[in-house]
């Protein structure tokens, strides 16, 4: 390369000599002209371009880079404007730096190229080179000022059209880029898209467990990214999946989505807007599929659509109640059947003692591990905890489900006090109806009497909300119509209830008379 530079110096000296037309040609110039193409002439820039061409087909990338830069500088110095030659030189300069692994210099070339088409070509090649050689992190350190949108479009295109199991993984590259820029919503979108792609693969291109693990990781990363976004903006817009018949109703687009937030060129399917809760549901479904597949192999089939309700049912069948409750809460499904199953397990333990087989779900519970008491007591306490977490604060429907299941399966024993006492204070009519339905008349009379006596001590003009229709129902039960009480005991209990009601009505009349009257 030193001789080539010396020749360049000789060519430059010859050019100075030729500026005097009366002088004879220098012998060195004559020699150079014998070996150089005619188009080189006395142009130093053309000479460097010629040298670049000589090295282009060799592995000497450093020489190509050096002479390409010299050629560009010489063209500028000579005031020559040759776009074709310049674009070729910029391309060779960039590719030489990239081939040498000098990515910082290659990036500088990308940002300096004055021709848009050449700049885009170099940018695309830079992305390929750094990603394929394990240096993708560099994309998060360079600013790419003015080229950010093109960089994102390029990475997004590669992600959509590449195998999500192959390396480099352009979904992860784009995710890391968005995170580095603090754009967590876009980062969440990318990871969700990868999760969807992995779900479409199923077990066709690899191990089911490996693929679903990656899918779970993708959805979890999407969830974590969106959790960092302000609540009003914690949503993503993605193309609707082809498996719309999964059973999930497609959400309508409720937000105005600017065109710069998605690529209209690829928006061939309707947009689906997903909020953070929706992404959590997708993660929960994928995780449940992974956890249940060993016991239910049919879940490994891509064509098998796992419904949210089925997740709770399958976990319940395995007595994995903690996982069932967690999934049910995230997926927002009715937990009535789950509470029925747990209640039945509690009753079974109460009736048959602390059978280890029946109490496996209690033994395996981390929450109950430090509690004192029998397995049966722990089981009821677990049920109470789950009710406190998941029951509706208005309808108390799960407590009613548990109460009715207890009454139906354990006719000889009293229901747990945490159920009856809570309902007595919050929904006495529902408690009494359940007790009457399952012929627990003695308990029904007892709770009725307690309620009446309690209300009689605080009678006001507004104290008429007691369930008098249910009291009338108890008073109207004919002799011989119940197996839980003898006719004599039934008659006695009805007399006690009637007497308590008389006292109650007397207290109400007294309170009414004490009210001030307007003339």
DSSP 44-66: HHHHHHHHHHHHHTSS-HHHHHH
pLDDT at 319: 92
Give the model's pLDDT for residue 454: 84
Separation of alpha carbons 27 and 175, rounded Å: 63
Q: Which two tokens stand for residue 154?
A: 């390029």
The per-residue b/e assignment along 272-309, b for 16 or more CB within 10 angstroms, e otherwise, is bbbbbebbbbbbbbbbbbbbbbeeeeebbeeeeebebe
Q: What is the DSSP string of 271-288?
A: EEEEEHHHHHHHHHHHHH
Residue 200 in tokens: 């479409």
> Residue for token digits 């790419």?
144
> Is residue 365 packed enough to be buried (19+ CB in 10 Å), middle (13-18) or exposed (0-12)?
middle
Q: Cis peptide before 458, with omega less than 30 degrees from 0?
A: no
The per-residue pLDDT for 31 is 61
Between the alpha carbon of residue 454 and those of residues 235, 292, 447, 448, 504, the distances in Å are 52, 51, 10, 10, 10
Q: What angle do CA 509, 511, 517 make, to 5 degrees?
A: 100
Which residues, in sequence order, are CB contacts of 54 under 8 Å at separation 6+? none
Return d(Cα 101, Cα 98) in angstroms, integer.
5
**pLDDT on residue 32:** 60
In our burial notation (b when 16+ CB lie closer than 10 A, e otherwise), range 44-69 reads: bbbbbbbbbeebbeeeebebbbbbbb
Taking each helix axis from N to C end, the angle separating 417-426 and 397-409, rounded to the nearest 10 degrees, works out to 140
DSSP conformation class of 237: E
Tokens standing for 247?
Answer: 């059973």
pLDDT of res. 264: 53
CA–CA distance, 51 with 63 (Å, rounded to integer) = 9
DSSP collapsed to 3 states, 392-414: CCCCCHHHHHHHHHHHHHCCCCC
Q: Are 178 and 190 within 8 A, CB to CB?
A: yes
Question: Which pLDDT score is estimated for 519?
Answer: 53
Q: Give the pLDDT of the chain (519 residues) as one tens digit per residue.
A: 555 555 455 444 444 433 444 444 566 566 666 566 656 656 687 788 878 788 878 888 898 898 899 989 888 888 878 889 899 999 999 999 999 999 999 999 999 999 999 999 999 999 999 999 999 999 999 999 999 999 999 999 999 999 999 999 999 999 999 999 999 999 999 999 999 999 888 655 568 899 999 999 999 999 999 999 999 999 999 987 755 434 444 444 444 445 555 555 555 568 899 999 999 999 999 999 999 999 999 988 877 889 999 999 999 999 999 999 999 999 999 999 999 999 999 999 988 876 667 788 999 899 998 999 999 999 999 999 999 999 999 999 999 999 999 999 987 788 999 999 999 999 999 999 999 999 999 999 999 999 998 875 554 444 446 799 999 999 999 998 888 899 999 999 999 999 999 988 887 787 767 666 665
Residue 239: φ, ψ to 5°: -65, 135
Among all chains, which residue has been given the structure tokens 């995230």? 330
Domain spans of the chain, in order of start: 1-100, 309-395, 427-518
CA 510 to mean position of chain CA atoms: 63
Whole-number pLDDT of residue 204: 57
């Amino acid at each position: 390369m030193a001789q080539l530079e010396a020749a360049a110096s000789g060519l430059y000296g010859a050019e100075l000599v030729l500026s005097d037309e009366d002088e004879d040609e220098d012998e060195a110039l004559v020699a150079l002209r014998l070996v150089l193409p005619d188009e080189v002439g006395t142009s130093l820039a053309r000479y460097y371009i010629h040298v670049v061409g000589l090295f282009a087909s060799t592995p000497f990338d450093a020489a190509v880079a050096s002479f390409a830069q010299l050629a560009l500088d010489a063209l500028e110095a000579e005031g020559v404007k040759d776009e074709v030659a310049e674009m070729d030189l910029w391309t060779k300069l960039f590719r030489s730096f990239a081939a040498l692994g000098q990515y910082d210099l290659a990036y500088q070339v990308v940002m300096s190229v004055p021709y848009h088409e050449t700049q885009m070509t170099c940018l695309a090649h830079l992305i390929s080179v750094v990603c394929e050689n394990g240096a993708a992190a560099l994309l998060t350190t360079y600013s790419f000022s003015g080229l950010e949108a093109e960089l994102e479009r390029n990475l997004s295109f590669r992600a959509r059209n590449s195998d999500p199991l192959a390396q480099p993984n352009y979904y992860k590259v784009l995710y890391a880029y968005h995170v580095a820029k603090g754009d967590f919503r876009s980062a969440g979108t990318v990871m969700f898209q990868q999760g969807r792609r992995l779900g479409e693969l199923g077990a066709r291109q690899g191990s089911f467990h490996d693929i679903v693990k990656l899918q779970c990781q993708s959805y979890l990363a999407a969830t974590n990214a969106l959790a960092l976004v302000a609540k009003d903006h914690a949503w993503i817009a993605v193309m609707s999946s082809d498996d719309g018949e999964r059973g999930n109703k497609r959400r309508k687009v409720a937000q105005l989505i600017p065109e710069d937030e998605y690529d209209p060129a690829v928006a061939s399917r309707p947009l689906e807007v997903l909020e953070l809760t929706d992404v959590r549901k997708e993660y929960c479904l994928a995780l449940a599929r992974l956890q249940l597949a060993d016991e239910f192999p049919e879940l490994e089939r891509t064509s098998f659509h796992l419904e949210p309700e089925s997740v709770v049912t399958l976990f319940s069948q395995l007595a994995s109640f903690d996982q069932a409750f967690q999934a049910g809460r995230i997926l927002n499904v009715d937990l009535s059947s789950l509470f029925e199953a747990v209640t039945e397990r509690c009753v079974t333990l109460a009736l048959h003692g602390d059978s280890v087989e029946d109490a496996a779900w209690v033994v395996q519970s981390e929450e109950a591990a430090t509690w004192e008491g029998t397995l049966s007591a722990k089981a009821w306490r677990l049920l109470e905890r789950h009710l406190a977490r998941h029951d509706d604060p208005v309808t108390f429907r799960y407590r009613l489900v548990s109460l009715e299941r207890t009454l139906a399966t354990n006719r000889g024993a009293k229901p747990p006090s945490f159920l009856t006492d809570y309902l007595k204070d919050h929904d006495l009519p529902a408690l009494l109806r359940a007790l009457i339905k399952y012929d627990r008349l003695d308990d029904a009379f007892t709770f009725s009497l307690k309620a009446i006596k309690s209300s009689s001590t605080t009678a006001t003009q507004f104290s008429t909300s007691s369930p008098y229709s249910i009291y009338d129902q108890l008073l109207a039960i004919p002799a011989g119509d119940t197996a839980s009480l003898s006719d004599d005991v039934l008659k006695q209990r009805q007399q006690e209830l009637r007497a308590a009601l008389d006292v109650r009505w007397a207290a109400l009349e007294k309170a009414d008379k004490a009210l001030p009257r307007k003339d």
